[in-house]
Amino acid sequence: MPTKANYENTKLLNQQIRVSQGLEKADLVIKKTKFLDVFSGAFITGDIAVNGKHIVGTVDPYSGKEEIDGGGLYLVPGFIDSHVHIESSLMTPQRFEQTVLPFGTTSAIWDPHEIANVKGSEGIIWAIKSTEDLTMDVFIMVPSCVPASSKSMGFETGGAEVNAEHLRPFIKHPRVLGLAEMMNFPGLLAGDPDVLEKIHDFKELKRDGHCPMLSGKALNAYGAAGISTCHESISIEEAKEKLSKGIQVLIREGSCAKNANALLPLINSYTSSVLSMCSDDRNPADISKEGHIDFIIKEGLRQGIKPESLFRVASFAPAQLYGLADRGCIAPGYLADFCLIKPIEDGNWQEGFQIVKVFKSGVHYQAAEESSPLEAESQFSGKNMNLAPVKAADFHIEGKEGSSKTVEVRVIDVQPNQIVTKHHLAHLANDQQKGLQADPEQDILKIAVLERHQNTGHKGIGFVKGFGLKQGAIATSINHDSHNVIVVGASDHAMSEAVDKLISIDGGIMVWKSSDEWESLALPIGGLMTNLHPAELANSLYKLKNLAKQLGCGLHEPFLQLSFLALPVIPSLKITDQGLVDVDANKIVPILT
C-alpha cells in the first residue's frame, strides 16, 4: 500500500499532468508573451502556464484561474547570483531578499565566510538557519579559508578558525552545494594538508576558486585539484585562459570590484553555457540605485551583446554549473521563477529594460513596506569590539636613525574599482621627534589594522596611496577577511578619534572629520550587518560617502576599498594586524625599504 505522503505526491503529479494537457485550469497563465527558450537561444511567443510552484505548459494556449496579458512583454528565467557574501551587503538575509528580489534575483549562492571569520562554525549555522524561510532560495557554499591565509604563515589574527573537521558536518545538508572560494591558492599549490583535506572532503560537490592573476602551470595545478570556478578575473585574457583550462568564469560587478565591462565581451552563443554572473560584495545603496544581477545584463546590452545570450548567462548557466536542475529555464517541470520585462525602447535592447513583475515559485513577489527598528539586536553573544580605547601615540611610526632628511617607505597603492593593489615607494620627511607622518599633499596617508576579537593588542601600521583624504579619518570593523578594525587617516589624532568612536558603537563604519562633525553606521550583528530597512541603510551609506567626499576621498566605494586592503591573499601589498604583507613574495615586510 502506498504511504499517505506517496499518495499525496502522486495525486499532485496527476493534477500537474492534467493541467499540462489543458484538462484543468492552471493557477496562472501569462498570455501571448515572448519567452526565452534557453535551449534554442530564441524568444518564442506563446502562453506560459503555471500550477503551484512549477511551469506546466508553454507555447500552447491555456486557461488560468488568473491570467496576465503578456502582449508586448518578454519573460525570462529568474536571475541567479552565482557568488555572494550577503554580509557585504551589510544586511541580514531577510533584508537582502527584500532588496534584490524586486530586481529579478530569485536565487543566490552564499559564501558566508565573513560571519565565519568572526564566529566560526556558529556563523555558518546561523547563515543556514537565517535563510530557511525566505521567499528567494539561498544556497550555501561553506567557507574554505577561515582565516584567508594558512595559519602557519602568521599573516593575521582572526576571530575564528574553521578547519576540515569543522566543515564535514555540513557536507550532507540539502542546501549546501559545495566548498566556497579557495582563496588560499598558495597553500593549495604548496600542498597544505588542511587545504587538501577540505578539497578532498568535498570531491562530490562543487569547489569554487579565487585565484587572481594565476596562470600557466600554477593554474593547471589549481584546476587539477578540482577547482571549477573563479570570480577574480580582471582582464579578458586572464578569463580566457581560465575558461580554456575548464575553470568557469563568474562575471563580477560588486560595489568595489567592477569587472563586468572588461569581461562581458566573452559572452557569445557558445560561451553562454559556461559563464555566470555574480555580485560578490555589493551594498544596498548601489543596488537601489543601479540594480543587482540585472545591472550586469544591462551593461552587456549596452555593449551590443545578444539578450538571448545574456539572460542565459544570468540563469541557465549558473543553474547547470551548481547542479540546480529545477530552475533556470522556461519549460514544463521547472520552477516558476521568472521575470516579466519590457525593453525601454521597443525593439532596441541596448537601451536596457524595465522589470514589470517578478515571480518566485509561481507567486508574484511584492516586498513588504514595514518600517524596521532603528537598531537590531545582535544574533550572537558578547561584544563585537574587544579592543581597548586608543590614543594618537598608538599610530606612531619611528623615523630612521641618522641624519637623513627623508626616508623611503613602502606604500599600498589602491587601484580604483579593483581589490588588487600595487607596491609603491615614496619618500617622507624623517622627523626624529614626531616620527613618520602622513603626507596628504602626496596623497600618502597612514593606515592601520587593530585586532578586535581577542584583545591581543596586535596592530599593523603602514602607508597607503589613493584615498585622497586631506583631513579626518575613516574606520570600519569590516576588514576582509579577518574583520579586525582598519582605519585610514590624514593624521594620528584623526585615526584615534575615528577608532574610539567605532568602539563606542560596537563596530560598523565611522567617518570622522572633527569632534563636531562625524557620521556613523552601527553594525550590531558581528560588526558586519544590521537589520535596518534597506532604504534607511542606503540613506546612512549616502551620508557616510558624502562626508568621506568632503574629506577629499574620490573613491566610488571607499569603505569596501578600505576593507579589502587587509586581505593577504590578493596581490600585491596588503596590511594586517601583523604588519605589511608582500603577497607576491608571501612574507611580512618592513615599512622602511
pLDDT of residue 469: 98
Q: Considering only 81-85, 138-142, 186-190, 238-242, which range has the smallest mean pLDDT?
A: 186-190
Split at pLDDT 50, 70, 90, the class of 368 is low
Split at pLDDT 50, 70, 90, the class of 570 is confident
**182 near 208, Cβ under 8 Å?**
yes
Phi, psi of 375 (to 5 degrees): -130, 150
- Mark whether 484 and 562 lie in a shared domain: yes
Averaged over 546-550, what is the pLDDT? Answer: 98
- Mark whether 296 and 410 lie in a shared domain: no
**How far apart, in whole angstroms, are the C-alpha atoms of residue 580 and residue 593?**
12
- Mark whether 316 and 244 lie in a shared domain: yes
- The answer on pLDDT for 374 being more than 50 is no
Domain boundary (304, 328, 352) is at: 328
Q: What is the CATH number of the domain that holds 144?
A: 3.20.20.140
- The answer on pLDDT for 372 being more than 60 is no
Residue 418, burial from CB neighbour count under 10 angstroms (0-12, 13-18, 19+): middle
**How far apart, in whole angstroms, are the C-alpha atoms of residue 93 and residue 127?**
8
Identify whether 38 is part of a domain: no
CA distances from 57 to 34, 40, 47, 62 (A): 14, 17, 8, 8
Across 111-245, where does the E strand assignment appear? 137-142, 176-182, 206-209, 229-230
- Mark whether 411 and 499 lie in a shared domain: yes
Identify whether 23 is part of a domain: no
Q: What's the number of domains the chain is made of?
A: 2
Identify whether 49 is part of a domain: no
Domain boundary (295, 312, 328) is at: 328
197 CB-side CA count, 13 A: 11
Q: What is the mean pLDDT of the chain?
A: 94
Averaged over 43-54, what is the pLDDT? Answer: 98
**175 near 144, Cβ under 8 Å?**
no
How many helices (H) and strands (E) in the chain?
17, 27
Q: pLDDT of 404-426, one tens digit each?
A: 899 999 999 999 988 899 999 99
Split at pLDDT 50, 70, 90, the class of 376 is very low
DSSP 168-181: GGGTT-TTEEEEEE
pLDDT of residue 526: 96
Domain boundary (312, 328, 344) is at: 328
**455 near 386, Cβ under 8 Å?**
yes
Give the CA radius of gyration of the chain: 25
DSSP 494-551: HHHHHHHHHHHTTSEEEEEEETTEEEEEE-TBTTTBB---HHHHHHHHHHHHHHHHHT
Split at pLDDT 50, 70, 90, the class of 346 is confident
**How far apart, in whole angstroms, are the C-alpha atoms of residue 96 and residue 493?**
36
Identify whether 382 is part of a domain: no
- The answer on pLDDT for 371 being more than 70 is no
pLDDT of residue 561: 95
Q: pLDDT of 68-120, one tens digit each?
A: 999 999 999 999 999 999 999 999 999 999 999 999 999 999 999 999 999 99
Separation of CA 109 from chain center = 10
**359 near 30, Cβ under 8 Å?**
no
Q: Considering only 98-102, 128-132, 343-347, 483-487, which range has the smallest mean pLDDT?
A: 343-347
pLDDT of residue 186: 87
Range of the domain at 154: 78-328
- Mark whether 172 and 267 lie in a shared domain: yes
Q: What angle do CA 209, 210, 213 make, to 5 degrees?
A: 125
- Mark whether 270 and 418 lie in a shared domain: no
Identify whether 420 is part of a domain: yes
Q: pLDDT of 4-19, one tens digit each?
A: 678 688 899 999 999 9
